[in-house]
Amino acid sequence: MCIVKHNGREYLLCISITGIVPYAKIARADRVTTLDCRMLEYDPRGLYVFADNLESLARRIREKIEASIL
Is residue 69 scored above 70 in pLDDT? no
**pLDDT (0 to 100) of residue 20:** 87
* Rg from Cα positions in the chain: 11
Q: Where are the domains of the chain?
A: 2-67
CA-CA-CA-CA torsion sign (38, 41, 46, 50): positive
**pLDDT (0 to 100) of residue 12:** 95
Quick: pLDDT tens for 19-52: 789 999 999 999 998 889 999 988 899 999 999 9
Is residue 6 very low, low, confident or very high in pLDDT (cuts 50, 70, 90)? very high
